[in-house]
Amino acid sequence: MVPLVDNIRNVLSPEEDYDLIVYLERDSLRFYQGPARKKVMVNFNADGFSPNGYVDNVVSHVRDIPETSFIPMGIPDNYLPRNPNIEGVLVSYAAGRWRPHLINQEMLESVSKVFPLHLHDMVEELWDYRELAQVLSRFWVYFSPVKMTGGPPLACIEAFMAGMPVILYDPHNHFSGFTNKDCSRVKSSVEASSAAMVLRSSESQRQEIGEAGRERAKKFFNINRFVEGWWQVAA
């Protein structure tokens, strides 16, 4: 529940003794400017921005960014067994209507000619996380046409963990440890369309790639690595 306040900066009171303040992106720096034992900012843009002197540490989900601490993305492994009954592709992104530049529109159109697409906008079409695992288990394929620079899209990680066969557009190489045995890596609309055709025509391919991708994701995006990284930053 959002507190009813005249100024959101007053949600946190400077009179309180805070142990750790985490700012999600630079815009949130204005929300609280009081004292704390430690202040950390998560830089989802991975552009090296660091508010020197204002926070004690900057966290990024991309390796080798200057003046930042790398913490790998991680989520729990608690997804349901695959039971796909919707002959369609799930495409998930945030605020796609306002940020179309973050999506490869040409690829999206080419895949839509092969498979019916369900475009899930995480801003407009809210899913309760208690339902997410069930939803992911129902679709045949997951397609990630997102061009995010700040790290691997969380929705794509969730799809991998759910054992979904993934058509992956990865221009920033966030999934460098994943091969074509673990997913269908594509670099063009033609490749994306071809991958969709193969996955639509072969249930065995969908199952094989989905299971391989899940096993790879369990190693790369283990929640324990994520938690350990935050314990180190917060210490």
pLDDT per position as a tens digit, 216-230:
999 999 999 999 999
Among candidate residues 227, 219, 78, the one with its CA nearest the CA of residue 162: 78
Higher-pLDDT residue of 61, 127 = 61
Which domains does the chain show, CATH number per domain? 8-70 (no CATH), 86-220 (3.40.50.2000)
Span 163-173, average pLDDT: 95
Q: What number of CA atoms fall less than 13 Å from residue 73's CA on the CB side? A: 17
Q: Inform me whether the pLDDT recorded for 169 exceeds 70.
A: yes
pLDDT per residue as tens digits for the range 76-131: 988 888 999 999 999 887 666 777 788 899 999 999 999 999 888 766 766 676 77
pLDDT at 116: 93
Among candidate residues 193, 194, 129, 192, the one with its CA nearest the CA of residue 162: 129
pLDDT at 9: 47
Among candidate residues 215, 199, 197, the one with its CA nearest the CA of residue 165: 199
Cα–Cα distances in angstroms (integers) from residue 199 to residues 72, 115, 125, 177, 186, in the given order: 29, 10, 26, 21, 13
Q: CA-CA distance, 201 to 137, in Å (whole number)?
A: 19
Q: CA-CA distance, 188 to 183, in Å (whole number)?
A: 15
Within 10 Å of residue 178's Cβ, how many Cβ atoms? 21
Higher-pLDDT residue of 16, 189 = 189
Percentage of the chain exceeding pLDDT 70: 89
pLDDT at 1: 37
